[in-house]
Structure 1
């Protein structure tokens, strides 16, 4: 190869590398899925997929990497709408009742909601919880798991007023400010963060039975 050819090849390689670097900078993170327009149009994380690196916050507002938390031990994750939701409170109580069994099996239990850290502390006290709750007020986890959706204008207005919610409102495609909630879900992962089980129901009044969660957890390889 001549000197001129080497120069051209080098220039092409430099241009290619620059293009790839530019694409890496402008391509949105694959872990952030769009917020769905309804609870029935979500695209959830599926069995066989791995939980990506996601920033959530603990009770004191400190940032945590959810992926790192899941690599410590097998985990049962549940997404709930907030401590203001009676169905969520009922679920949290049911999970508290089986936490001891999960711990004996080597699992940790983690609840994720759009509640702010101070609201999580209130839920811990109200429901006498021992397991971990984390705040996803920025929707990082809900979007990574593909569970986030816009509530209707009517529901947004009703919940914000009646429940006196402090949640941030988000703009939908039409530029309207809406409340974003997660479709309630349960995920069970192994200690590498690989999803082995999921239960997702757009009907927020229907939650996974504790017996189903225990049975699914017993089948996860340790």
Structure 2
């Protein structure tokens, strides 16, 4: 069982080890191949960087109310965690990890923390209820913000075929006919929609550690032990 002190990467390494024991060679190879291809392609992608100013994008909450980037940063920085979709196993490791190690510290500091996905409601909200997340989960309609950040990727043919074989539809994942998702990303946004920090994870089994986020915000890592 994971402990509060274990790193996010150690949790993924445990899952990877279990997959190597239990998945078919074909399924394992396909999963690894897409992740490795995204990692190789990442240096050539165009995405926002620290200091860039974002357009006034708007997100939606589970009730259909709009939440703008200016709303999130009205009193200081905000942390946005982009994830793939509610049923993504790796996302169901990352978001509870941030709930356990990050949410209370940011709340005490008055810094909003939200998770963002292009998946439509009501299915999107299932990851919040299933994991009892203490922060909002917001929808990025038709990947508008994710595309604006330059963090999306397209399923390769193998991944698309595997998803279809399981009964998945692109519309259920992102509300569009495109097989496109955001790469897991942590965005720290300052007032004025100024990018303070962005960390994109093309391999969805490697994501930003809490310690990195706290360092960006000038918060002390030892505060993790007091977050509960």
Q: TM-score, normalised by structure 2?
A: 0.70
Look up the match of 1:96.
Answer: 99
Measured after TM superposition, the shift of residue 49 of structure 1 is 0.9
Unaligned 5+ runs, structure 1: 1-36, 171-177
Map residues 161-180 of structure 1 onto 2, 5 A cutoff.
161-162=165-166, 164-165=168-169, 166-167=172-173, 168-170=175-177, 178-180=178-180
Listed one character per residue, the Cα deviations across residues 31-88 of structure 1 (whole Å, up to 9, x for unaligned) are xxxxxx9663432211001221112211122333233333343101111101111111
Moved more, 115-124 or 125-134: 115-124
Measured after TM superposition, the shift of residue 139 of structure 1 is 1.0
Q: Distance in 1 between matches of 2:129 and 2:78?
A: 23
Q: Distance in 1 between matches of 2:121 and 2:76?
A: 24
Look up the match of 2:21.
Answer: none
Measured after TM superposition, the shift of residue 152 of structure 1 is 1.2
1:132 is aligned to 2:140: no
Name the CA shift for 1:163/1:83 in 2 (closer, same or farther; >3 Å).
farther
Map residues 39-188 of structure 1 onto 2, 5 A cutoff.
40=42, 41-97=44-100, 98-162=102-166, 164-165=168-169, 166-167=172-173, 168-170=175-177, 178-188=178-188
**Equivalent pairs, count:** 176
Moved more, 135-144 or 75-84: 135-144
Q: Between Structure 1 and Structure 2, which shows a larger proportion of helix residues?
A: 2
SS at match of 1:139: helix
Look up the match of 1:202.
Answer: 202
Q: Over aligned residue pairs, what C-alpha RMSD do you find?
A: 2.2
Measured after TM superposition, the shift of residue 161 of structure 1 is 3.7
Larger Rg: 1
Unaligned 5+ runs, structure 2: 1-36, 220-228
Contact 1:75 1:189 survives alignment (8 Å): yes
Measured after TM superposition, the shift of residue 102 of structure 1 is 1.1
Measured after TM superposition, the shift of residue 163 of structure 1 is 6.6
